[in-house]
Structure 1
Amino acid sequence: MMWIYLLQGVGFGLAAASQPGPFQTYLISQSLSNGWRRTLPAALAPLISDGPIIALCLLVLSQVPAWMEQALYGVSGMFILYLAHGTYRSWRSGGATEPEASSTRQSVWKAALMNALSPGPYIFWTLVTGPILVTGWREAPLYGAGFLGGFYLTIVCALAGIIAVFGLAARLGPKVHHAMLGISALVLFIFGLFQISKALR
């Protein structure tokens, strides 16, 4: 039975990492701006932000209240627009600015904050993975731990792969790098507006 929960964790971890969204776009923009080596630690952001989210979803929420979901969309949208502005500034400067020494640490915490403000993890852990985790834990704590281990090992490795791929792609030339950075800024801007529009519905 242990392997069933482990495989489910791997499958859902891969699905969560590969689903296009503002978090993945932010990692791509950071990889283009600061290089994949400096951005790589940001792949650990879910390990920082998801603990309180899981606890909240499993211990407090039976379902995500509508008002909370709307509030999260609004705050998330504004934060994404702030990140889009930073990426746009990097694009205007040609993406050739030297990253600051503290940029790696800031990148990790910004990524963790974005994940914590996004409604996605709350809905995911309440409606999808939360019930699996609870069921496995009730059968045996080792099963629940196996599910979590498979999930986070997969999502961190997949996010690291995304960072590395786009970081290396930026070496194709300054024009390609500049274009990709501009696209990242635009996509982040669109995601921000989309989140805010959901909050206003």
Structure 2
Amino acid sequence: MNGLVSLLAGVVFGLALAAPPGPMNAIIAEEAAWRGWLAGLVAGLGAASADAVFFVLAYLGAVSMVESRPALRATMVGLGGVLMLYFAYGAANGVRASFRPGGGSRAVAEKSKGFRKAFVLALTNPYQVLFWLTVGVGLLRPGTLDVLSWLPLVGADLAGTFVVATGSPALIVGFFAGIGVWIAGFPASIVLAERRIERFAPVIAALSAVVLAGFGVYFLYDAGSFVYAAIA
């Protein structure tokens, strides 16, 4: 059961990161609108491939190095919390943004190079690099996250009902599965109902902002707990 919960939590987190309007979704929308669903999917795979590269690098080196230095880990997780809140702020601003080509990116590349365009943009995106060096470390580090306990007013009553195991393979698989669901479903929506999907952009952005803000608060709490223990 815990594995299934972690899997579902990973899917939700992956969707929350992938869904807000921005440069990657602008590229996917551009390719899908001009060349069809497959081109949009290929562009999405370019961005996802960059995440896979960062994941491998984090798993092989960054995590072990950070874990051996508790103060460094707390600093990076704290920065990750700030980064998540920044992502949440960007997603909230996306309530007024658009998924249409050019709505989240000023760059216009050749239509036939969607994969390479998205891959290179993702690899050189400082926010994506910081995500895997900060939040990625938190996702890979063994631990638990009691998701519903953070809810205001009812958190105490719901504590223990939705506990996610961080550092578990299920969470990572779910995370990439959530990204996969988005990069496959979003270009299909653009092709089948380009105008209609625009109506859902504010809702998607708002939900993503809530999820990202929740993770941001958790990572800041994690870092703050270390600092408190160190000075107590």
Interval containing the TM-score (normalised by the shorter chain): 0.5 to 0.7
Aligned partner of 1:49 among 21, 35, 54: 54
Determine if the alignment matches structure 1 residue 122 to structure 2 residue 129: no
Q: Write the deviation string for residues 134-187 of structure 1: whole angstroms up to 9, x where unpaired.
A: xxxxxxxxxxxxxx9xx9999767744431122202333244311232222212
Please name the residue that 1:27 is paired with. Answer: 18
Which is helix-richer, 1 or 2? Answer: 1
Cross-structure match for 2:81 = 73
Q: Does the 8 A contact of 1:26 with 1:188 survive in 2?
A: yes
Q: How many residues align?
A: 164
Amino-acid identity (%): 12
Give a deviation string over 1:14-35, Cα, whole Å, max 9, x none.
93895211x4334234177444
Structure-2 change in CA distance of 1:109 and 1:189 (3 Å)? farther
Q: Could you say which residue in structure 2 is the equivalent of 1:113?
A: 129
Against the structure 1 CA distance between its residues 162 and 195, is the aligned structure 2 distance closer, same or farther, given a 3 Å change threshold? closer
Tell me how far 1:193 sits from its aligned partner: 3.3
Equivalent residue letter for 2:197: H
User: What amino acid does structure 1 have at the position aligned with 2:121?
Assistant: Q
- TM-score computed with the length of structure 1 as normaliser: 0.57
Pairing partner for 1:40 from 36, 40, 45 = 45
Structure 1: segments with no counterpart, 5+ residues: 1-10, 129-147
Change (3 A) 1:155 1:196: closer
In structure 2, what is the equivalent of residue 134 of structure 1?
none
After TM superposition, list the pairs within 5 Å mapping 1:1-201 onto structure 2. Answer: 15=7, 18-21=10-13, 23-29=14-20, 30=25, 33-34=29-30, 35=32, 36-37=40-41, 38-54=43-59, 55-62=61-68, 65-82=73-90, 84-85=92-93, 87-88=94-95, 90-91=97-98, 95=100, 97=102, 100-101=108-109, 104=118, 105-107=120-122, 109-110=124-125, 112-113=128-129, 115-116=131-132, 119=135, 121-127=136-142, 159-198=179-218, 199=220
> How much is the aligned-residue C-alpha RMSD, in angstroms?
4.2
Q: Deviations over 1:93-121 (max 9, x none)?
A: x73547622862325544733642552x3
Structure 2: 5+ residue runs without aligned partners? 33-39, 111-116, 144-168, 225-232
Distance change (3 Å), C-alpha of 1:112 and 1:44: farther
Question: Does the aligned pair in 1 maintain the 2:84–2:215 contact within 8 Å?
Answer: yes
Which residue of 2 is the match for residue 135 of structure 1? none
Note the C-alpha offset of 1:192.
4.2
**Larger RCO: Structure 1 or Structure 2 (Cα < 8 Å, ≥ 6 residues apart)?**
1
State the TM-score, normalizing by the size of structure 2: 0.51
**CA deviation after TM superposition for structure 1 residue 72, in Å:** 1.7
Summarize the Cα distance change of 1:185–1:109 in structure 2 as closer, same or farther, 3 Å threshold.
farther
